[in-house]
Amino acid sequence: MSLRKALEIRRTLVFRLTFWYAFVFIVSSLAAFAVFYIVIANVVRERTDQEMLRELSETVSILKSKGDDSFRTEMDFEAESEGVGNIFFRLLDPAGGEVAATDMTAWKGVGVDSDVLARVAAGGGPVLKTVAVPGKPYEARIIYGRLESGRIIEIGCSLEHDADFLGAIQDMVMPGILVVVALSTLTGWFMAARALAGIKDVTRTAVDISEGSLEKRVKVQARGEEVKQLVDAFNRMLDRIHELMKGLREVTDDIAHDLRTPITRIRGLAEAELNAGKSGEESNKLAADTVEECDNLLQMINTMLEISEIEAGIRVLSKTDVDLVQLVGEAFELFRPIADEREIRLVFHAPDHLSVRGNMHSLQRIVVNLLENAVKYTPEGGCVTVFLRDDEDAVRIIFRDTGAGISEEDLPLVFNRLYRCDSSRSQPGFGLGLCLASAVACAHGGHIAAESKLGEGSTFTVTLPR
Ligand code: ADP
């Protein structure tokens, strides 16, 4: 995955919601585990302390009944039965000097805490303390207690078993945390993706609309109330825009329609004046110019009305099998004289035979308009190539030229009615050719795509279903 794509994903709402959901879930799980661990560790410590207090009281009562001299025999027996590495007993005088002790081989370096000793010797109750055992990975719990004789008894107990038990809990929790991370991320992603699915639909529809299909609507499915409200508002807004656009188009069509009759009449009058031949040379030129301008206006009005009819589906396009190789070939012959005159090379790549079901006259209009544009907007010495492609999914007619090209800002607008790029104002045209071609392609279930780079040329691809 490229860095840019990764950064884009990081900015998505699904990623952010998933991240926060997983983060909160993991932090809560860790906190819950920490509390659980502390409680367990305290219970274990308390249990050990209880056992040590019991051990101390038993030792004190043994020594009380049998005397301090019995210490070695009694305590050695006790230490050996528990394991000399697990427990030791030490008899100390009030100054901390060792009087007797069980086997201390495993407890080397475990000294006597003089502060604690002083407190216990002064008559305080038993004192418990945790100390490190030099050279061992675990600690020990030590208890000091005072005998009736004034001596101090010290009992040390290894905390190895407790450490093992708590370690086992930690080992169990690590994989558990990994499962929690995976589960919370998956759940978070699933929930966020579900919650935002409606917004994705709205975006998809908005993109479709920006590409021209104003009839599309977002399907209202059973989603969260907020998304449903957004979808409803979005669809209502589209209905309104559609209505307004329709109204605007109808007004334009009505004006165009109403203009046709007076223009035809003006043209008739000018033509009659011209045919009468009674006026002077200047008046005749004026009449001829008027006829020409009226012809242009009528052609423009008729094309606009034709586009409206095709878009509205009023004009029914009868369909036959159209031989595209022949159709493009004939259009080439039509433009060859102009191309030769301007030294533009015309190249045609096509299979031996390729036909498509469509309206012959309308398809001719597409080919003629696109070829005319390619020749018109290509400077002398350039090249115009047409490819006929029999693709698996559709038939494609591709018009490629080495001409002026279209800027990035103009490119999405060239299929609009009456749109002409500023750079083409010096060329003849009404800005309706591409709009008509696109309407015809749509009426055949296809579309036209344009790619262009200013100064390098343009490619128009007509896609028609088989
Ligand atoms: P026009 O009658 O002005 O050619 P079109 O609808 O055919 O109207 O084209 C709209 C505009 O798109 C043109 O005015 C021109 O600026 C631009 N255009 C169309 N085809 C090409 C092309 N092959 N090369 C450069 N610009 C083009």
| pTM over cut 0.75 | no
Ligand 1 and 429: CB distance under 6 A: yes
Rounded distance from Cα 111 to ligand 1 centre (Å): 98
Question: What is the C-alpha to C-alpha distance for residues 102 and 149, in angstroms, rounded to an integer?
Answer: 19
- From atom 20 of ligand 1, which residue's Cα is the shortest distance away? 373
DSSP 404: S
Q: Which residue's CA is the nearest one to ligand 1's atom 11?
A: 420
141 lines ligand 1 (CB under 6 A): no
Sign, Cα dihedral of 421, 426, 432, 438: negative
Could you give the CA distance from residue 215 to residue 243 in angstroms, rounded to a whole number?
11
Is the distance from the beta carbon of residue 430 to the nearest atom of ligand 1 less than 6 Å? yes
CA of 373 to the centre of ligand 1 (A): 6
pLDDT of residue 213: 67
Q: Which long-range contacts (CB under 8 A, 24 or more apart) does 115-119 make?
A: 116/144, 117/92, 117/144, 117/152
Per-residue pLDDT, 60: 87
pLDDT along the chain (466 residues), means of 10: 73 85 87 92 94 91 82 85 90 89 88 88 88 89 90 92 90 84 87 81 78 72 75 87 82 84 90 81 86 92 88 81 96 96 95 94 96 95 96 95 93 92 85 95 94 94 93
From the CA of 374, give the closest atom in ligand 1.
Answer: 23
> What residue's CA is closest to ligand 1, atom 21?
373
Which pairs count as long-range contacts for 20-28, CB under 8 Å and 24+ apart, including other chains? Answer: 20/188, 21/184, 21/187, 21/188, 21/191, 21/192, 22/181, 22/184, 22/185, 22/188, 25/180, 25/184, 25/187, 25/188, 26/177, 26/180, 26/181, 26/184
Classify 455 in phi/psi space as left (phi over 0), alpha (psi -120 to 50) or beta. left
Residues in CB range of 126: below 8 A, 6 or more apart: 53, 56, 120, 143, 144, 145, 146
What is the DSSP pairing of strand 139-146 with strand 152-158? antiparallel
- What pLDDT shows up at residue 211? 63
| Strand partners for 131 | 140
| C-beta of residue 267 within 8 angstroms of C-beta of residue 290 | yes
Q: How much distance in Å is there from the Cα of 414 to the middle of ligand 1?
A: 7
Residue nearest to atom 14 of ligand 1 (CA): 420
- Compute how many other C-beta atoms are within 10 angstroms of the C-beta atom of residue 98: 12
Residue 136, class by beta-carbon neighbours within 10 Å (0-12 exposed, 13-18 middle, 19+ buried)?
A: middle
User: Which ligand 1 atom is the nearest neighbour of the CA of 399?
Assistant: 23
d(Cα 462, Cα 387) in Å, to the nearest integer? Answer: 10
